[in-house]
Amino acid sequence: MGSAILCKELTKSYVTDKTATRALRGVDLAVEEGELFMLVGPSGCGKTTLISVIAGILNQDGGECRIFGEDLKAMSEEQRTAYRGHTVGFVFQSYNLIPTLTASENVSIPLLLNGYAREEAAAKAEAMLGRVGLQGKIRSLPNSLSGGQQQRVAIARALAHNPRLIVCDEPTSALDYATGLEIMDLFRHEALNGNRTLVIVTHDSRIFHFADRIGVMDDGTIVQIARSAAEVHLDQTHKK
């Protein structure tokens, strides 16, 4: 299998009126196709900035970032929008489902954005909701669902258009432990079908064992790549 994500010397700074904060200080990272990769580290270490660059919603300042061989920096704004539309699926900490749309309509969104007809999108969305165990909640509005159910809808939405890469930001942190495990199980068994690649940002050490590899970040760089939860040394942070 080839590299899904290949980042070299990636840098990114946030500039305000008086100060510049260096969020990424030369990140080198390679994630294989079909891999579940976790990014862990303390708050403010640059995890979210890194997945934002990988997802194509933020431009890096320097270095190179290739996703499935495509250089994101070389893309125009329209190309990046199209790239996000067909290549990336998103799962967020706070679900971010549109509250006025039903579960099925929420899941239909990426399909409609990819040019599916309304009826076809609805049928695919309903099938996808079935795969994540929400057959009976197709017409439900998000606020009538539990946190775990909402996250399942979000996962169905991320998977609906069959993207090659899924980026997740703290997908279990708003859930209780048991529900968090169910969600990770869903990621492992549903989301990783085929050669799809998952990058999950998390603080939750109880789900580390779901990862194929874990990248430990600190102060804008990756300080350790661990192959199992046991190898992760979060105390390495700040000792670079």
What residue ranges bind another protein (CB under 8 A)? 48, 51-52, 55, 57-58, 78, 81-82, 84-86, 90, 92, 94, 96, 98-101, 109-110, 113-114, 169
Structure token pair of residue 185:
């199980």
C-beta of 84 vs 152, nearer to another protein = 84
Adjacent-strand bridge partners of 13: 22
Q: Taking the complex as a whole, how short is the minimal distance between the CB of residue 152 and another protein, in angstroms?
A: 17
By beta-carbon proximity to another protein, the closer residue of 22 and 236 is: 22
The CB-of-86 to another protein minimum distance in angstroms stands at: 7
Residue whose CB is less far from another protein, 109 or 181: 109
Q: How far is the CB of 233 from another protein (least distance, A)?
A: 26
Name which of 48 and 149 has its Cβ closer to another protein: 48
DSSP 137-160: GTT--GGGS-HHHHHHHHHHHHHH
Which neighbouring-strand residues pair with 44? none
Minimum distance from CB of 116 to another protein (Å)? 13
Burial of 62-83, coded b for 16+ CB within 10 Å and e otherwise, reads: ebebbbbeeebeeeeeeebeeb
> Do residues 10 and 50 make contact, with C-beta atoms less than 8 angstroms apart?
yes
Token digits for 158?
Answer: 């991320």
